[in-house]
Amino acid sequence: MREWGEREHRVTVTAEELFECEGSSFKSLTAVARHITGTHWSGPLFFGLSDKRGER
């Protein structure tokens, strides 16, 4: 879950290892972050799963 633009965005990982958000399926968290923000983001960084150095 991530708040962005005064909205809460929830992502679900499916059994097929796809990411679902707002009724759409994505192959990666980075694609979800791009969908939400309209710009390139590291998906794990955007969702707080790693720090700026890429560590978890």
pLDDT digits over 33-47, tens only? 999 999 999 999 999
26 found inside a domain:
yes
Percentage of the chain lying above the pLDDT 90 cut = 88
Q: Is the pLDDT of residue 56 over 70?
A: no
pLDDT at 50: 82
Structural domain of residue 33, as residue ranges? 2-46
21 found inside a domain:
yes
Give the CA distances from residue 1 to residues 31, 56, in Å, rounded to whole numbers and listed in that order: 15, 17
Q: Which helix (H) or strand (E) holds 15?
A: none
| Total structural domains within the chain | 1
Q: Which helix (H) or strand (E) holds 16?
A: none
52 found inside a domain:
no
> 6 Cβ partners below 8 Å, 6+ apart?
none
8 found inside a domain:
yes
Tell me what the mean pLDDT of segment 27-33 comes to.
Answer: 97
51 found inside a domain:
no
pTM of the prediction? 0.85
